[in-house]
Amino acid sequence: MSDEADEAYSATEQLTMTGINRIRQKINAHGIPVYLCEACGNPVPEARQKIFPGVALCVECQAYQENKIREKQIQALNDAHSVKER
């Protein structure tokens, strides 16, 4: 039982440290937050941050992600439609 508790504690500690390190990476040497795209690592423009507080992706990566989602939705609709026709 203590092994499971130790593993759970270690996993929690690791997740906490990962979160702390992510926050540290988002703050420059002057203590000013620098928001980087979680997909490509490029800076997220300040104007985008103001419009969408907490934004995680730059415009290009957000558009790419949305296009991928749309493609999957269209494919699912096409698959469902082809099943109905059979």
Q: Check residues 85 and 64 and name the one with the higher pLDDT.
A: 64
- Tell me the pTM: 0.56
Tens-digit pLDDT profile for residues 31-75? 666 788 889 989 899 899 889 888 889 999 999 999 999 999 999
Q: What is the predicted pLDDT for the residue at 30?
A: 63
Residues in the chain: 86
Q: How confident is the model at residue 79 (pLDDT cuts 50, 70, 90)?
A: confident
Q: What is the predicted pLDDT for the residue at 1?
A: 54
Q: Cβ contacts of residue 4 below 8 Å, gap of 6+?
A: none
**Is residue 33 within 8 Å of 46, Cβ to Cβ?**
no
